[in-house]
Amino acid sequence: MPLKDLSGKDAAASVSRDPRLLDQMRDRNCRLGLAMRSETAQTRWTRRFIVFHGKQHTSGTGLPGRKHS
């Protein structure tokens, strides 16, 4: 039975979150038609990079930011 919040709606439905970075990467790689091995390698590398830098945003690492095109 799903959990309900105080308004009577499903608790899971009331939480609206943006997709996490690694989920966004997986979705993008899937849309681009990359091989599963490439997706796995990129995801693992990115995860190691994030953990190495203490899970900080790039603004706190002193690294240059990426411009979105």
Q: How many residues does the chain have?
A: 69
Does 42 map to a domain? yes
Retrieve residue 46's tokens. Answer: 């990115």
Does 38 map to a domain? yes
Does 46 map to a domain? yes
Q: What is the pLDDT of residue 44?
A: 92
Domain that holds residue 33: 19-54
Number of domains within the chain: 1
pTM score over 0.75? no
Q: Using one digit for the tens of pLDDT, what is the confidence trace for 37-64?
A: 999 999 999 899 888 888 776 666 566 6
Q: Using one digit for the tens of pLDDT, what is the confidence trace for 2-35?
A: 565 566 655 555 566 888 888 998 899 889 999 9
Q: What is the pLDDT of residue 27?
A: 92
Paired residues of 4 in beta bridges: 10
